[in-house]
Amino acid sequence: MQKSMIRYLLMGSIALIIVLFLLFIFFMTKLTPLSHDSNEAYYQPKIFNEEHPVSMVYELQSLSLASSLAALSTTTKLNSDFDKVTNFLPKMNTLRTNLQKSELNSLSAPKELKFALGRLINLTRANEEAIEQFKTNYAAIRNSQRYLPISYDTLLLLSKRQADKAEDNINKSGLLKKIKQLNIQLNMFLRNPSTIAKEELSKELLTLEERAMSLPQKISNALLNYTSHAFVLVNRKLPMMDILDRIANDDLQAVDNEIVNFYQQMLTKSQLERQNKQQVLEESYSLYRIIAIVLGTLLALLGIAACLLFLKEYNVSDQQLRLMSKQKDLEFNKQLQLQEKSHVSTSTEANNSYVSRMVASLTHELNTPLGYLSSNMDILKSSSKVIKDILDETEHCKKDLLNESKQEKIVMKFSNSIDTLKEGSLLDELPEIIADMNTGIEQIQHLIGDLNMFSGTDRAKKEWFNLNECIIDVLKLSSVTIGRHIKVLKKFGELPDFYGSRGKITQIFTNLVVNSVHAIEEGKPSQGVIKIVTVSKPNIILVEFLDNGIGIDSENAKKVFEPFFTTKEPSKGTGLGLAIVSQIVQDHKGKIAVNSKLGQGTSLKIAFPVQNKKV
Amino acid sequence: MLLKCPIMLIHNFIVLIIFIFLALPITTVAEPIKVLTQPKNLDKEKVALGRLLFFDKRLSKDNSVSCETCHLLKEGGDDNIKISIGINGRKGIINAPTVYNSGLNFRQFWDGRAPTLEIQALGPVQNPVEMGAFWPDVIAKLQADHVFSQRFIQSYPLGINRQNVTHAIAEFERSLVTTDAPFDRYLNGDASAISEDAKEGYQLFKKYGCVSCHQGAAVGGNMYQVFGVVNSYFKKRGNITEADYGRFGLTANRMDMHSFKVPSLRMVAHTSPYFHDGSVKTLREAVDVMFEFQLGREAPDQDKDKIVSFLKTLAGKHKEFQ
């Protein structure tokens, strides 16, 4: 668990680093343009030098643009912020004076350039002035536009109060009517200002101011307040429009471009070369950047994959933990799972090796008995010739017997043939040969029986029976195999009846007992012991076979349930024993696990599920 | 599942913090008045030299007047009289503005004729009614002081000349920024830094439109405006002098008549009398004048009082001012 935690920590930190790296790249690309193409209008990267006159021209251009934009943007905001506008002015001023002293304005500079520079300087000065005037006018117009309606309303209110009074001049003289008319005119002017309208309005406003002198103090003040706001608007509206035009003046930008173009033409070859070099450098930089981004994304994908893997592993281990805490017999469960796993993997991956191993085993198993048969057949074949010869001789003898003169000869020949038969010892060997041939045939039959059992084609009837009784039967049957030098310890618990094939189960136990006996014989311990334990657990019957035989190493322990796997000499076993056991256990929905140590012994555990008898 | 895994938790937490930092600037609300901050990139030794020169009477013809004579640092950066008195008791023509926060002004002088503090410092030395000196004489006097010139040369390798002297003075003036005003503390989130009246005064200051000219970090000092833009101040006051022309005296543009640099209101509580002619003695009267001639409207007395209490919170601290 600790090991895996460290792995998770590592994976998590890698993912974190990758995310941070991605963020870094994101900001890099955000802060600096990826390629200089988008920035081509700004000449600066190629000969960027603050003191270079052309870069000064460029800076001036961008500053005047920025300040006019800032000026215009204040008109759209609730609170004007002129700090932003004025921040550019000192820089513009110094740039302008520096440009005047620069080499562009020197005696050696071409006339056209000097002329353009002069225009630029004048336009910049005009631009600065326009921005100054904009601030002043904007603040004034903004104020008066806000207060003109208020002053007009107070004037109307006062005139209404005055209407009944004797000295009411404003209503009776038609002055109020004129004011109302003027207000409409003024609103029209504000919407569509023109010089003619401006002059008319200022004339009428002047006459109004004159007439206000003759009015009572209060109403005169109100009227004068209204006219003064109106004057501000009338006088400043047109200049304001002019200023806005001047701020957005394209001439400055045009002259800037003119100078830069001219200067670019003037650039010498060496400078162009230097530019090219720098461009190549920049391109390679952008290449690096692209590589960095690609690498970054790859790393990020890897990180995401690592995260997913991590989550998956975390999930699996979590489930495992839960399972293990539920069951008491931890080791057994683990083994069962491992067993299951190995079955899953071998059934898919090692099918081919099964087949090849099966073929090898089968040919070997069949070859041995067939060898017996064929070699003995040869013997029989060659001996049949001898027998035929003897028969021929006896035939001759039969004829010769009729002729008494030849009796002596016959006796000689008979004794000769008896001698040949005796010398060949054919008669002595014959039962042996037949017995050998029988063994061969038996082996083949046994093999076919095993195969049948393994393939499951031999379907036995199922019945209810007690496993303990079954084991006792097996022990009785194999008492000869076990012999007297091996001690058998039985530790049986009370078991519920088991539903299954009695014959097959008997075979399992027989196989296991035989295996144990073999293992003990091979391991040669001072006292061979086989211990058989049965335990009843809820829903499970547990049978354990223990022996202190030779055991097997862990490498082979994984393979013991594979068919045709054997550690014994080829002639001694088919390698199907435990495979059949495993197959039968699986047929009964049970599980089997082996735990063994080389030289110490083997423990085999089988778990059978308990069925409900009523069903 | 994500929640169970400690690494993912830490990771998500860090990502969250990054996003909060990215989103923070969007949430801050813009106020028309900004907090004053200590100027950066100032040369301490040059500031010290500038301070010596600022107090140095040798800058005047008869060694009687220094910059500090009219710009009393302890009095708020001006001399608290209507029109300053220069060499030989000669009267100037205009009210002395404060030197505090003058580095923030976009132009110098009332009519903005000097674009920088350096160029501004050139003026008064040769002005016959201020210091009445001649620059070459002043430089010679300063060069004769070996102790001073030795110290000066360490900061300015070219030694004492007109450009370096004005630069040192300007550097000193740039250091005269008054920070940590009660109102700045209020802007920084300290709600108890100013009184309720002052808070309402600030809202009125914005509502009536004072803020359309007096805004930015210096609360002014970043634009020109016509004095008496709505109602003619000068017609009412009469006796118009050349000093009242404002920027018109420079540009001869009709639109610039009576137009002045909008002064910074940062030290307004300490720089009475007010306006270029020093015509008004109290802050309250100055507010009245502004309402009448700049805004062209009337307002209740209590509103004006609140604005005055707001204006008093604008002054910050400086070691020269205490």
Q: Is the pLDDT of residue B172 over 90?
A: yes
Residue A190's CB is within 10 A of a number of other CB atoms, namely 16
What pLDDT, in 10s, does the model give residues B226-283? 998 888 888 888 888 888 999 998 888 888 889 999 999 999 999 989 999 999 999 9
Q: Round the average pLDDT of chain A to a whole number and report it.
A: 74
> Taking a C-beta distance cutoff of 8 angstroms, is the pair A549, A523 a contact?
yes
Most confident of A302-311, A448-457, A568-577, B108-117: B108-117
Residues of chain B with CATH 1.10.760.10: 44-174, 182-311
**For residues A498 and A610, is the Cβ–Cβ distance under 8 A?**
yes
Bigger pLDDT: A342 or A579? A579
Backbone angles phi, psi at A249, to 5 degrees: -65, 130
Cα torsion at B205, B210, B216, B217 (round to 10°)? -60
Residue A93 with chain B: CB contacts under 8 Å? 115
- Phi and psi dihedrals of A595, rounded to 5? -135, 120
- Nearest residue, CB atoms, A140 vs list B10, B32, B226: B226
pLDDT value, residue A269: 52
Q: What ipTM is given for this predicted complex?
A: 0.75
- In words, the CATH class of domain B182-311 is mainly alpha
Per-residue confidence band for A517, with pLDDT thresholds at 50, 70 and 90: confident
pLDDT class of B25 with cuts at 50, 70, 90 = very low
Which span out of A188-197, A301-310, A514-523 was modeled with the highest average pLDDT? Answer: A188-197
Nearest CA in chain A to B215: A81
Query: Per-residue pLDDT averaged across B16-36, rounded?
Result: 63
So what's the pLDDT on residue B99? 93
* Residue A401 confidence class, pLDDT cut points 50, 70, 90: confident
Q: In the structure encoding, which two tokens stand for residue A443, read together?
A: 């082996």
Quick: pLDDT tens for B111-138.
Answer: 988 988 999 999 899 888 889 899 999 9
pLDDT, position A356: 59
Q: Would you place residue A33 in the very low, low, confident or very high pLDDT band (cuts 50, 70, 90)?
A: very low
- For A142, the closest of B2, B34, B212 (CB atoms) is B212
A125: closest CA of chain B, how far (Å): 13
User: Chain B residues with CB inside 8 Å of A10's CB?
Assistant: none
Quote the pLDDT of residue A51.
63
Question: What are the CA-CA distances from residue A240 to residues A79, A245, A247, A252, A533 (Å)?
Answer: 19, 9, 10, 19, 108
**Burial tier of A109 (Cβ tally within 10 Å: 0-12, 13-18, 19+):** middle
Q: Does B190 touch chain A (CB under 8 A)?
A: no
A148-163 pLDDT, tens digit per residue, is: 888 888 888 888 877 7
CB A440 within 8 A of CB A368: yes
* Element housing B47 (H / E): helix B44-54
Check CB contact under 8 Å for A132 and B223: yes
Catalytic residues of B: 130
Distance separating alpha carbons of residues A395 and A392, to the nearest angstrom: 5
- Determine the average pLDDT of the residues in A34-44: 37
Share of chain A above pLDDT 70, in %: 71
CA of A79, closest CA in chain B: separation in Å? Answer: 6
What 8-state DSSP symbol labels residue B95?
A: P
- Tell me, yes or no, if A89 comes closer than 8 A to chain B by beta carbon: yes
* End-to-end Cα, chain A, rounded Å: 43
Give me chain B's average pLDDT, please.
87
Beta-bridge mates of residue A518:
none
B142 in contact with chain A, both atoms CB, cutoff 8 A: no
Number of Cβ within a 10 Å radius of residue A186? 22
- Whether the per-residue pLDDT at A218 is higher than 60: the answer is yes
Alpha carbon separation from A572 to A217, A549, A575 (Å, rounded):
138, 17, 9
What is the distance, to the nearest Å, from the Cα of residue A457 to the centroid of all Cα atoms in its chain? 47
Greater pLDDT, A395 or B304: B304
B222 has a chain A CB within 8 A of its CB:
yes
Which among B151, B205, B243 has a CA at the least distance from the CA of A79? B205
Instruction: Please say if the pLDDT value at position A86 is more than 50.
Output: yes
Residue A335: its pLDDT value, please?
57
Select from 1.20.1440.230, 1.20.120.1200, 1.20.1250.20, 1.10.760.10 the CATH code of B44-174.
1.10.760.10
d(CA B14, CA A13): 12
CB < 8 Å to B115, chain A: 89-90, 93
Which whole number is the average pLDDT over A520-540?
Answer: 82
CA distances, B297 to each of A155, A274, B204, B287 (Å) = 12, 65, 13, 12
Highest mean pLDDT among A470-474, A609-613, B266-270 belongs to: B266-270
pLDDT at B262: 93
Closest Cα in chain B, distance from residue A236 (Å) = 9
- Positive or negative, the CA dihedral B90, B94, B98, B102 is negative
Which one of B115, B223, B232 has the shortest CB-CB distance to A139? B223
Q: What is the pLDDT of residue A264?
A: 67
